[in-house]
Amino acid sequence: MTFVRRLLDQSKLPLTVTEFWRYSFFYWGIFAVITLGQFTMLWLLQQGVAMRSHELFIWLLDGLFWWSTTPLVLYASLKIPIAFKVRQSTLLKPVLYHLLIVTFLNILINTFHWYITNPLMFFVIGKNLPFESYLFSFFTAYTGSFGQYMLLVVGFNKVSYIYRYQELKQQHFETEISNEQLRGQLANAQLQSLKMQLNPHFLFNTLHAVVSLMLKNDIRKATLMITTLSDLLRSVLVNQQSDFIPLREELMLTRQYLDIQQIRFQDRLNVEYKIDPAAELYPVPQLILQPLVENSVTHGISDVTTNALIRITAEMSTAGLRIVIFDNGTGANQRKISKGMGLGLKNTVLRLRQAYGEHAQFIFDQPSEGGTYVTIHFQGEPKKIRTDDEAYQSYNR
């Protein structure tokens, strides 16, 4: 029973040991009945009588023998599989191995009859069969037994392959689901990580400005800046679980940030908004504009003494959303040119790449006549974390 159980586990057939023996009995029983009909007709044609009881007994022993060898046959089919999608020379080798096994089993059953069944027949009916009769039986039954054996081997190989393939497919599917979830969790973690890097960066610069105002004894401005900062942080906390928010809400956060900077710069800073109403509901990563306007303030207009300007433009088209942030600072003519992008711009590029892949563009331009243009272009919906059902549907397309 243990051997049969291991055999079924290895073949992945969803059968119990009892069902295995039942189906095996049914398989060999079909051929046993066919053989009985053939022998009966031969006896009637040759001798004019039906098979006698002792001959039926031998027929029954043959059927039980082949039924009992089923685990051995199936074990051999697993160890020596027959695959038809191979070269003929490769196919010939396993067939020869199975031919040797069938030969051995036929010799074994005839040896059993010669040494066990034949003496019993002599004891019961007073005579036994000559050795030539067993040789005749061996050669006449050999072709039929080989065909039955090979049919079982090939059929079992095919059925076992189907069930093993289905199990591997299921394992692959479960692995794909797990990978989809892990990729989604990783993407979400990366977005959260990048966003959380921006918050301390922004807070540091704002608190530094508050400290500067307090050192100048400008308590009113410092208090107003802290109050505005509190409103900004409250708005951020409301959407802290959201990776994407409508552009309208993102612009509100940007306005709050620029309100803080206008407190700092007073009349020196002017802010203009040109927002297409159709763009206000477009989903964008939270705090995607803040580091861009902060870059305009820190590296653009910080040295401008009068009429500093920051202009935010958002346009909606069939190609997606286009946002341009312009400042009239020194731009390419600035004396101190920073090497590469700062933390804010680098994180913005990373967040866009993480959220939109190749469907987003980031353009940083400083014309020779001065000023800086930062353009971001969203050309599609942001990537979202797929659920199990969505991953299942994607896998089965």
Question: CA-to-CA distance for 157 and 1, rounded, in angstroms?
Answer: 21
Entry pTM: 0.47
Q: Comparing 100-104, 113-117, 166-170, which segment has the lowest mean pLDDT?
A: 113-117
pLDDT band, residue 385 (cuts 50/70/90): very low
Domains of the chain: 2-129 (no CATH), 185-388 (3.30.565.10)
Other Cβ atoms closer than 10 A to 326: 19
pLDDT tens, 140-152?
A: 677 788 888 888 8
Whether pLDDT at 313 is above 90: yes
**pLDDT higher at 342 or 252:** 252
d(CA 312, CA 26): 81
Q: Where are the alpha helices (DSSP H) in the chain?
A: 2-11, 17-47, 53-68, 70-79, 88-112, 118-125, 131-215, 219-238, 247-265, 290-295, 343-356, 388-395
How much is the pLDDT for 333?
Answer: 59
CA distance 134 to 115: 11
- The pLDDT value given to residue 197: 52
Note the pLDDT tens digit of each residue in 190-241. 555 445 555 566 677 778 878 888 888 888 888 888 888 888 778 777 766 6
pLDDT in tens, 250-270: 898 888 888 888 887 777 889
